[in-house]
């Protein structure tokens, strides 16, 4: 009898701690990350020539999901990276500066790919990144654009259609801005 009561009490204590992510009062997984809010998509999904249709979690701590298969109304530069990728770390500050200089004329979006969330937030803090990010642990975007290695940068028109996928060397400020000018028709100084 006592053993049954102890077992019932233990089960009650264990179950009391269970819940689902997103329960009222529970913090979002990326709360306090420092990332800006993800851009609001506009228009209908792009049926061909766009990014994959799967919505990914915005890493701003809001718990919202970002549909990447739609335009944002302005051109977008999407950088896929991971904290274990040294070339990614080398070029990410150029994306932060592009974000700061472009203002609302261009969306710069980071896609944390194939990495742990906390490690990614720590790496972003070390690099002083604040531009919007989504979390893609399963490499949906990377595989969806037919790539296998990082870093990769995707230039997307205001309508949501992919204009160019860049997978060359580490992007410097001048190289990144030249690609924005060439593929998106936007001069950011």
pLDDT in tens, the chain (189 residues): 444 433 343 333 333 333 323 344 445 679 888 999 999 888 888 888 899 999 999 999 999 999 899 999 999 999 999 999 999 999 999 999 999 999 999 999 999 998 888 889 999 999 999 999 999 999 999 999 999 999 999 999 999 999 999 999 999 999 999 999 999 999 998
pLDDT value, residue 41: 87
Domain residue ranges in the chain: 28-184
28-184: which CATH number, 3.40.30.10, 3.40.309.10, 3.90.1170.50, 3.40.50.150? 3.40.30.10
pLDDT value, residue 61: 93
Q: Is 123 exposed, middle or buried (0-12, 13-18, 19+ CB in 10 A)?
A: buried
Where is 55: in which H helix or E strand? strand 55-58
Contact at 8 Å (CB) between 79 and 110? yes
What distance in Å separates the CA atoms of residue 112 and residue 147, rounded to the nearest whole number?
Answer: 15
Where is 78: in which H helix or E strand? strand 76-81
Contact at 8 Å (CB) between 42 and 72? yes
pLDDT value, residue 91: 98
Inter-CA distances, 51 with 15, 33, 44, 76, 140, Å: 41, 25, 13, 11, 10
pLDDT value, residue 27: 53
Q: What is the pTM of this model?
A: 0.84
Smallest Cα–Cα separation from 130: which of 28, 32, 29? 32
Contacts of 162 (CB under 8 A, 6+ apart): 49, 50, 51, 145, 154, 155, 156
């Amino acid at each position: 009898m006592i053993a049954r009561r102890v077992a019932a009490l233990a089960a009650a204590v264990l179950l009391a701690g269970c819940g689902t992510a997103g329960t009222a009062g529970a913090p979002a997984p990326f709360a306090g990350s420092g990332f800006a809010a993800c851009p609001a998509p506009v228009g209908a999904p792009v049926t061909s020539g766009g990014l994959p249709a799967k919505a990914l979690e915005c890493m701003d701590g809001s718990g919202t999901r970002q549909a990447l298969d739609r335009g944002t109304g302005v051109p977008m530069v999407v950088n896929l990276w991971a904290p274990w990728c040294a070339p990614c770390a080398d070029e990410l500050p150029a994306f932060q500066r592009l974000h700061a200089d472009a203002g609302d004329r261009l969306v710069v979006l980071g896609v944390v790919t194939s990495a742990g969330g906390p490690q990614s937030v720590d790496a972003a803090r070390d690099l002083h990144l604040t531009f919007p990010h989504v979390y893609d642990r399963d490499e949906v975007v990377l595989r969806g654009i037919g790539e296998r290695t990082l870093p990769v940068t995707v230039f997307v028109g205001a309508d949501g259609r992919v204009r160019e996928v860049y997978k060359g060397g580490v992007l410097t400020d001048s190289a990144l801005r030249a690609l924005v000018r060439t593929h998106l028709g936007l001069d950011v100084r």
